[in-house]
Structure 1
């Protein structure tokens, strides 16, 4: 089943111009399309709709050490709560942390991307999204199409 995630503003990348009353269609673990809510609702009438306050954009890359927590699962979840779905290999050095990342769909990258690289929402790309409030704090995280964090 497809889900339309909609917000006051959608950013294809964090440096791009906003799409007002924007939306992203997610089917399984992939991005179906990006546009205004009105046009996507018309094209995907059977999709479930999740409305978010704030700004919806691509999920983040967590470049530093993982937050402290009692268990590997909780350390990975702490990253998801920050709107990140990628961690760096150097910070997941134990088999338990790697397994927790894998179970949650969190990607482990060998290093920091080049300075010119920027996360973006791409049609047919993996559905990794973050919703941020006006302070930049994460409201919700979608990792590989699954809602893995929602602030209450």
Structure 2
């Protein structure tokens, strides 16, 4: 089943102009389409809709040591709570950290790169409030963090 994620503003890349009332259609772990919500809703009338406050865009890349926490799983979750869906490989140096990242579908990259939402690309999304704080994170199509 498809899910349409929509927000007041949607960015395919954080440094480009937003699409007002934009949306992203996700099926399993992939982006099926992105564009204006009204157009996508018409094309996918039975899709579940998640409407978010703030700005919807690509998941962030965490380029630095992972936050301290008691377990590797909690360290990975702390990264997901920031809207990051990828980490740079050199920062997965503690025992069990790489396995925890892979279990949670966090992308492991050889180096930092710009994030982008593309058709048929992996469904990695972040929803940010006006201050840039993460409201929600979608990693490989799964909602893995939602601020209450």
Question: Is TM more than 0.5 here?
Answer: yes
Is 2:129 aligned against 1:133?
yes
Structure 2 matches for 1:52-63, cutoff 5 A?
52-63=52-63
| Alignment-derived partner of residue 49 in structure 2 | 49
Structure 2 length normalisation: TM-score?
0.97
Report deviation, 1:95.
Answer: 4.1
Counterpart mapping for 1:3-152 below 5 A:
3-113=3-113, 118-152=114-148
In 2, the alpha carbon distance for the partners of 1:3 and 1:111 equals 30
Q: Which whole-Å CA distance do the structure 1 matches of 2:88 and 2:12 have between them?
A: 23
Tell me the TM-score normalised to structure 1 length.
0.95
How many equivalent pairs are there? 148
Query: For structure 2, which runs of at least 5 residues remain unmatched after alignment?
Result: none
RMSD across aligned C-alpha pairs, in angstroms?
A: 0.8
Matched residue of 2:143: which SS? strand
State the distance in 2 between where 1:111 and 1:53 align: 31
5+ unaligned residues in a row in structure 1: which ranges? none
User: What are the Cα deviations for residues 71-112 of structure 1, in whole angstroms up to 9, with x where unaligned?
Assistant: 100000000000001111111113410110011000111223
Distance 1:104 1:17 in 2: 31
1:49-88 per-residue CA deviation (whole Å, 9 max, x = no partner) reads: 0000000000000001000111100000000000001111
Runs of 4+, deviation exceeding 2 Å: none
